[in-house]
Amino acid sequence: MITREARLRFFFFINSFGLLLLCLLVTPTSASAPHFNQALPAPVGSSMPKEQLAKKQAKPTTPVTAGKRDSITTSRDDRPKVIRNGKVKVSDRDMELLAQLVYAEGRGEPYEGQVAIAAVVLNRVASSEFPNTVREVIYAPNAFSPLNDGHLSRTSNASTRKAVQEAVNGKDPTNGSLYFFNPNTATSRWIWSREKTVVIGNHTFAR
């Protein structure tokens, strides 16, 4: 006959074994941190669409490697070189074109005469009587004899480039002249009627 004490021990043993078995069944054998797929919120002021932002956040970051940067080219015409007398904007390309004209018109002239030729072109650009860019002034019909055929030699040299730079910087040996001509070869009566300002080398300058 089983005593009361033996029955109690058997009861507690069975309950303890059942509780232990229950704990083993419901407790995971390994734990891992939860993962969230929720996209991070866009920065304040960001105008990027949500779809693009989600793709950007999902895309792995590519490490930056050392090397040459891609070269960036800029049109030289987009960079004004100098504003002359607050009126004329001259780009690098315009300066080279002007140096070519000075070479064509004044390669046999003294240096001051070359500065004077460049100054006449700039004076025309600043005048309301002429086009308002260096290129348009130079290529205006019948403006300069080397362009009678519509073309200009691409030749220039250090002297003509320096002369153009001085004229752009404000030097004007012509005292504001808009014209120049060689009195030994000029055939236009109109050019002789203009007010003469100065003679430099083989050229007479006039307003």
Residue with tokens 């002239």: 109
C-beta of residue 159 within 8 angstroms of C-beta of residue 105: no
Average pLDDT for 96-116: 95
Domain ranges of the chain: 77-173
Identify the band that residue 71 occupies on the pLDDT scale cut at 50, 70 and 90. Answer: very low
pLDDT exceeds 90 at position 48: no
pLDDT at residue number 83: 53
Distance from C-alpha of 163 to C-alpha of 169, rounded to nearest angstrom: 10
pLDDT exceeds 60 at position 80: no
Distance from C-alpha of 157 to C-alpha of 139, rounded to nearest angstrom: 21
Distance from C-alpha of 152 to C-alpha of 48, rounded to nearest angstrom: 51
DSSP bridge pairs for 82: 90
C-beta of residue 177 within 8 angstroms of C-beta of residue 167: no
Percent of the chain with pLDDT over 70: 58
Identify the band that residue 2 occupies on the pLDDT scale cut at 50, 70 and 90. Answer: low
Class of domain 77-173: mainly alpha
Average pLDDT for 127-147: 92
C-beta of residue 183 within 8 angstroms of C-beta of residue 204: yes
C-beta of residue 115 within 8 angstroms of C-beta of residue 180: no
C-beta of residue 93 within 8 angstroms of C-beta of residue 138: no
Average pLDDT for 166-195: 94
Report the SS3 class of residue 52. helix
pLDDT in tens, 7-28: 667 766 776 766 666 666 655 5
